[in-house]
Structure 1
């Protein structure tokens, strides 16, 4: 049996069945992608999140085939005429350049620093440019479906308020952990395990005002471990300006912070 024939079921989902295909032209589709996950949220024309589905890519030999089958068989994802489509990439290969650079410059930086076969993408921040390696085959599939000029590609961490405060963020992702610094020295660093992050933190002065999100809870062993090395450690909380359907009442905001915070 091929992956295309396998029954496709999300590991987590929230569905407001009042949302329909006839609203897509005025709605926003937000994907988040990593080696371990493929998820998406839908925000309707009134600014409310009405749909969320989260799929695991772990242990899937052909991730592209699974994403293709998921998208092509989905009653909403298979439709092309969205008002806006955004792809948020979780990446282990990434860096921040404190200036605006061209695509050609980004490719050179990626080839020099990352030394990977993956295609390099870049996305602008107010004070510079994030350069990161993406999932080329899946990105190409989504660009072909929705249009390369319509699909906006960003690093997932860009949803944090990097320009507005001095917080440090710890983002627990499917395949590792990102340590993200804001305003004073914007950058993002990736660690494969909590032990690697702790080893790094031991070499630094104690971080204060740290916010945590992603695949973690306040009761998890990883969170408790971090409390020994950082100050004022808190899960990211929902923002008043983020509107969600009543069906999202029990959805863990911090887990899907990137999608909910997409502007």
Structure 2
């Protein structure tokens, strides 16, 4: 239990004694908005020094919680971070080969899915040599852009932070409700399912890496590894720098934000 925290209590808090709000202009802020969680991490000269992880309360909507934590938190509310990166997760998305712009992204989306929902905006992120078009929540974006200086915020889709390379690999990102699947061969593809058992097993070849809200003790983990014996938790790349305070952290759970 964290005493005298003064705001909504996180399920995980890492903040070294040397962390100082006076140095925020030197720090990079990385925010991740997931389906069942909200978390943010702070980097100092490329090394992660702080992490706070929250579960959404049952008596608040996701957007209500996000607004309250930004307004109540003692330093998340600071406007003078060096950089601010916001990582979004999207259940509705599509991969387009090559690079695109906002106009083309909107046209592709309209062709595939029709008119965009009134409460949504179409965005895109680059991943490897491709682009992923996805749907983001207007209320969240409007709040964040008004809260911070819009020019400071960089919006990224979670999959765009995966270390995709020439190897044949598949990432299963569990979000606490369903599973985001990303594979790189024979061509890049990303999609979402509420039931991983419905995944086309013929696509799960090569390195099958598990990340997100799953542990060795979860029923899903045991079922999955029993069916697919080459599935394993993803390991962080050696170039990701964490302070000594992170020594007991499950890297695969925070894989996305640590790759930001």
Note whether the superposition's TM-score is higher than 0.5.
yes
- Maintained 8 Å contact 2:127/2:159: no
Listed as ranges, the matches of 1:154-169 within 5 Å are 154-169=156-171
> What is the distance in 2 between the residues matched to 1:152 and 1:10?
24
1:125 aligned partner: 127
Find the partner of 1:210 among 202, 208, 217: 208
> What is the distance in 1 between the residues matched to 2:59 and 2:106?
28
CA offset digits 1:154-174 (Å, max 9, x no partner): 111222111343211111113
- Maintained 8 Å contact 1:24/1:83: yes
CA offset digits 1:218-255 (Å, max 9, x no partner): 33221122224435211011322222122111111110
2:197 aligned partner: 198
Moved more, 224-233 or 149-158: 224-233
User: In structure 2, the residue corresponding to 1:162 is in which secondary structure?
Assistant: coil
Which consecutive residues of structure 2, in runs of 5 or more, have no partner in the other structure?
1-5
Aligned pair 1:253/2:251, yes or no?
yes
Quickly say closer, same or farther: Cα 1:30–1:60, change in 2 above 3 A.
Answer: farther
TM-score, length-normalised on structure 2?
0.88
1:40 aligned partner: 40
Deviation at 1:112, TM superposition (A): 4.1
Deviation at 1:25, TM superposition (A): 1.2
Listed as ranges, the matches of 1:65-84 within 5 Å are 65-84=64-83
Deviation at 1:184, TM superposition (A): 3.8
**CA RMSD of superposed structures (Å):** 2.1
Find the partner of 2:137 among 131, 135, 138: 135
- Maintained 8 Å contact 1:162/1:183: no
2:239 aligned partner: 241
Quickly say closer, same or farther: Cα 1:206–1:187, change in 2 above 3 A.
Answer: closer
- Maintained 8 Å contact 1:26/1:83: yes
Listed as ranges, the matches of 1:101-112 within 5 Å are 101-112=100-111
Which consecutive residues of structure 1, in runs of 5 or more, have no partner in the other structure?
1-5
Moved more, 167-176 or 219-228: 219-228
User: In structure 2, the residue corresponding to 1:95 is in which secondary structure?
Assistant: strand
Moved more, 108-117 or 169-178: 108-117
- Maintained 8 Å contact 2:168/2:206: no
> What is the distance in 2 between the residues matched to 1:85 and 1:20?
17
1:3 aligned partner: none
1:99 aligned partner: 98
> What is the distance in 1 between the residues matched to 2:204 and 2:174?
19
CA offset digits 1:89-124 (Å, max 9, x no partner): 111011111021111221233344455442111112
- Maintained 8 Å contact 1:236/1:254: yes
TM-score, length-normalised on structure 1?
0.87
User: In structure 1, the residue corresponding to 2:179 is in which secondary structure?
Assistant: strand
Moved more, 221-230 or 151-160: 221-230
Deviation at 1:60, TM superposition (A): 4.4
> What is the distance in 1 between the residues matched to 2:155 and 2:92?
15
1:220 aligned partner: 218
